[in-house]
């Protein structure tokens, strides 16, 4: 590392490599402990509670149902700890590669400009 070889201060070496000096300080500290600046492995993250097997069964039983209808049926079948919202159910459908309908009203006949509530106040 350039800083360890004495090529300048944190500020000078950070400017040389177009880094923030605090990033360089963290990298030097990591180098001194492990002699490596490799990125650490990713953390575990959050696991979706949705049971994929039930989701697949529902997709086969009611293929024309909307996401909200499928989610309601899923919540009837799933244990309390695995119940979910339509938005989370939609993300699970996408993760599993299913194509779905947004609503049950069919094709929109006309489209117009959408206005945000703040734009209407003036």
- With bands split at pLDDT 50, 70 and 90, how would you rate the model's confidence at 108? very low
User: What is the pLDDT at residue 42?
Assistant: 81
User: What is the pLDDT at residue 84?
Assistant: 93
- With bands split at pLDDT 50, 70 and 90, how would you rate the model's confidence at 88? very high
**Rounded Cα distance, 93 and 81, in Å:** 19
Contact 60, 96 (CB under 8 A): no
Q: What is the pLDDT of residues 12-66, one digit of tens each?
A: 888 988 999 899 899 899 988 998 888 888 888 888 889 989 988 988 888 778 8
Burial-class residue 21 by CB neighbours within 10 Å (0-12, 13-18, 19+): middle
- Cβ contacts of residue 102 below 8 Å, gap of 6+? 66, 67
């Amino acid at each position: 590392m350039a800083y360890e070889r004495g090529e300048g201060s944190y500020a000078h070496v950070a400017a040389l490599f177009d880094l923030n000096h605090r990033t360089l300080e963290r990298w030097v500290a990591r180098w001194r402990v492990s002699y490596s600046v490799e990125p650490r492995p990713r953390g575990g993250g959050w696991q979706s509670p949705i049971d994929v097997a039930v989701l697949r069964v529902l997709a086969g039983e009611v293929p024309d149902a909307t996401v909200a209808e499928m989610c309601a049926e899923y919540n009837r079948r799933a244990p309390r700890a695995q119940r979910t919202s339509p938005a989370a159910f939609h993300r699970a459908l996408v993760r599993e590669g299913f194509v779905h309908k947004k609503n049950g009203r069919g094709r929109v006949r006309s489209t117009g400009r959408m206005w945000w509530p703040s734009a209407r106040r003036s």
